[in-house]
Chains A and B, each alone.
Chain A
Amino acid sequence: MKQDIHEYLAELEDIPGTRVFTAARARRGYWLNQFAMSLMKPENRERWKAGEQAYLEDWPMTADQKEAILARDYNRCLDLGGNVYFLAKVFSTDGLSFAEAVSTMTDMGFPEYRDMMLNGGRSVEGNRSIKANRAANNEGTD
């Protein structure tokens, strides 16, 4: 084995504001993602739009996952094992563009987010590593 799996997975958790779709998240979010996937069929989209709560009753998701989806709280969905390519079926059904849906996960409104993208996007500076940021902050307060 080229890289130790434990070290590999630990590194993936060291990125600020990011939930890498690891096996652990994939397992946790299995039914959340499979539910989202079901919205690829037009007849399912119709049924979903007619009654979201009732539609969710068919899926063995946790109460938290159901609540997060109904609230369109996508960061919480990510924490509960959702993956953005699956969740995209939900926001596409809502008629949201990728950029608008993605902006809801940031601390900006859509117009502000769109301006940030037009101006070159979010900088990588200060966004690489949770540990490095923590170390830098500690130095600053010493």
Chain B
Amino acid sequence: MARLTAGVGSSHVPLLGVAVDQGKTGDDYFGPIFAGYEWTRQWERDTAKPDVVILVYNDHASAFDMKIIPTFAIGCGERYKPADEGWGPRTVPDVEGHPDLAWHIAQSLILDDFDMTIINEMDVDHGLTVPLSMMFGAPAAWPVKVVPLAVNVVTYPVPSGNRCWALGEAIARAVESFPEDLNVQIWGTGGMSHQLQGPRAGLLNREWDNRFLDALVGDSDAARHIPHIEYLRETGSEGIEMVMWLVMRGALGPKTRCLHRHYHIPCSNTAIGHIVLEPAE
């Protein structure tokens, strides 16, 4: 049977992709950010070795425009190309899907009362490819297959933290009933505090972000009840992306153990947060 072995949380700032693509990951600005991912890169390569990553992210007006706004959408395609976000597509490998697992999860979720949108064709933007770069560097081909899970965090209302957490729980049930022996991870991406718009732009909140990271570890489920307005007030308008980390946290079950954690301010307009969790007894 497939096993959900670990969860990863990570920011997905587009500038991190630029740093990787232009070989700047060791300079004074980016060095401290990438140093905090060293542990994870080694762990993914030598210890964890996942077959598939369920990658929870948001599309930034790339695959989805205003025509169609799915709240939760799952990619069931064979492969996905990097999107052209206005400066040409990133020169990273295509992302290979896992249609068997993805369709199994999609069907299971729908029977489990989550009315998913199914995507067979789309391009994937920095929300999905930057976390892959952070965890795997710049390989000729990504070492995992990916099930993209896109969450609307752009047009309000976005899904509640509680609903995201429950979706994670349902994803875990779906993975565990997939008959093939697969090592599956789930990643929640986006955040942490940042605001990209209006006179309040540039807001960061180190203290709140770290309390959020604390709340993902152990047996508390308090984070699922944080209301949207708290993310908006405390972490900036784009800090709302952190609800996607709750899909990951929910999927890991009642209790987690923290394997690695990293926090750095700033990257461009954003606070970088990163955590590696595994389910605990």
Contact = CB atoms under 8 A, between A and B. Distances in A.
Interface stretch (B73-81, B107-115, B179-187, B201-209): B201-209
Interface string A110-126: 00010011101111100
Interface of B: 14-15, 60-62, 65-67, 83-88, 154-157, 160, 193, 195-206, 208, 227-229, 232-234, 237, 265-266, 268-269, 271
A26 interface: yes
A12 B157 CA distance: 10
A85 B201 CA distance: 14
Given A11-B229, A17-B198, A129-B233, A26 B203 contact: no
A121 B156 contact: no
A117 B61 contact: no
Given A22-B156, A41-B84, A85 B14 contact: no
A88 interface: yes
Interface in A94-142: 97-99, 102-103, 105-107, 113, 116-118, 120-124, 127-129
A15 B195 CA distance: 12
Given A23-B155, A88-B60, A18 B232 contact: yes
Contacts of A33: 61, 65-66
Contacts of B15: 97-99
A107 B201 CA distance: 10
Contact of A113 (B86, B88, B202, B204): B202
Given A78-B198, A124-B233, 9 more contacts: A12-B229, A26-B155, A36-B61, A98-B14, A105-B197, A105-B201, A124-B208, A128-B234, A129-B233
Contacts of A113: 202
B156 A18 contact: no
Contacts of B65: 33-34, 37, 86
Contacts of B202: 102-103, 106, 113, 116-117, 121-122
Per CB-CB distance, the 4 closest pairs between chain A and chain B, nearest first, are A121-B204, A92-B86, A17-B200, A17-B199
A83 interface: yes
A22 B157 CA distance: 7
B232 A20 contact: yes
B85 A98 contact: no
A72 to B, nearest CB: 14
A84 interface: yes
B251 to A, nearest CB: 22
A20 B237 contact: yes
B234 A102 contact: no
Contacts, number: 155
Contact of B157 (A8, A97, A107): A8
B160 A2 contact: yes
A102 B233 contact: no
B205 A124 contact: yes
Given A34-B65, A40-B62, A124-B203, A15 B233 contact: yes
A121 B203 contact: yes
Nearest to A2: B160
Given A98-B14, A105-B197, A120-B204, A128 B233 contact: yes
Given A42-B88, A88-B85, A92-B85, A83 B154 contact: yes
A112 to B, nearest CB: 10
25 contacts: A8-B157, A12-B156, A16-B200, A17-B200, A19-B198, A33-B61, A34-B67, A41-B84, A42-B84, A45-B86, A75-B199, A78-B197, A83-B154, A88-B85, A98-B14, A98-B196, A98-B269, A102-B197, A105-B197, A116-B202, A120-B206, A121-B204, A122-B200, A124-B234, A128-B234
B271 to A, nearest CB: 7
A32 to B, nearest CB: 10
Interface in A47-79: 74-75, 78
A107 B67 CA distance: 34
Contacts of A128: 233-234
